[in-house]
Structure 1
């Protein structure tokens, strides 16, 4: 299993890195459209949409993303969206995600299938819009958001393994602990300080990271609280997908990524973080 996970991760990196560092914005845009389409297919299957219909849902969302890019952008980049859109998307995640988690796995099936599909499609579309917008703002900015989520997950895993005692949400994800959440937050804050005051300050980067925008521009208190909110929402995104899988009896969203499960299993924590990161970063322009 470990060998399979490593091989899959290497293949994913071999595809992702050239798209990230390409001179044109199109490779990253196309790669993320494919990724979002696959995640939409998985979402449909998790919500009891059979065979061909699930493929149609995934294809429709990919076409929506492509159509948005062609109509509201140029050269693979979207025209800048209003900060209000990111605040709205982030607010829906904070309120809606919190409410869904409070209802537990038994609450999700009570919602009719069509609203469930539309909510998932809207969340995936908003996250894709935010990723493409983040890429337009700069590679350093985009990577800083990715690394925030990845670092929170890694630090939480090892912190939970070493010190985990109090379960975070035993009915949804028994392996997660409050100690893991705290270590994830601490790890991200340490990384943020290094990135903002060493990497951004001393090296030539194409853009400021989300850490510099929050900590150096908004101040330690406001910026630090913003970073903690992003880490907390990465946990909400992870738990939300776990809730769906628990409600439907699925172990993984699919087997598209050998050793890793499905695309949703890899991007669930990113879905709320990207819109909220853009919303918080928009505050800098008002300073």
Structure 2
């Protein structure tokens, strides 16, 4: 029989520490708050964070960005409500670079918003955009206050206190013992925090990762957390919590997507060149050129402006 070295309490000291799917907390967070069928939970979270009292979940428009650009820059949940553009990120480890990441996310979100609204960024009229709010829901072990403001200016190599170039990420700590009032005001967030905290506590007590997750799952079902969600979606949540991230398969999938993206980029370059030719020869109106090349009117106007600056529109 194979022998194993044991410690004073009879525990196997050769046991390797459990390796969880590192993404399970944010995957679960997005599944709970980022789906159309769970808008009422997202509205509850928004109300608790903002001290508001909205009651109509249909007032929320989820506009989360999905795509290859967010392989390492994931965008958990973004949504519009009452002319406010919100981005909610879940983080299980402390990251002081969230303001910079948020700035990059929001540039994409605003580009998407402006394109959808068919607004002209080159107009002489002031373009109105939704007010941004960036919230980071933190569940890590680094000790933080209940709320911590991270500012973009903290990253500047040359200190700047003017406030002219600022972007803020509000980190809300929901680890055990923190933000109790917020969790009381938002039961879905409280139940999410209980599940995550229970797994961490089980691991600290020496359970294997499978036992830690299964115990947390049974507890969540027994106590009807998230109004039965853990019972209804048991297999999905277990899969999120236990399935390891397959980097090799992920890279293969991204490679195939990259090939498709490359083809699309080639088609776009051709469309832009065709539009330049039509503008140079003055064949058709801006709208007609846009329709012929499948570009937006704004894109054709931008091309026209570039060519005008470069002196290419006059024959």
TM over 0.5: no
Higher CA-based Rg: 2
Which is strand-richer, 1 or 2?
2
| TM superposition score normalised by structure 2 | 0.25
| TM superposition score normalised by structure 1 | 0.27
Which is helix-richer, 1 or 2?
1
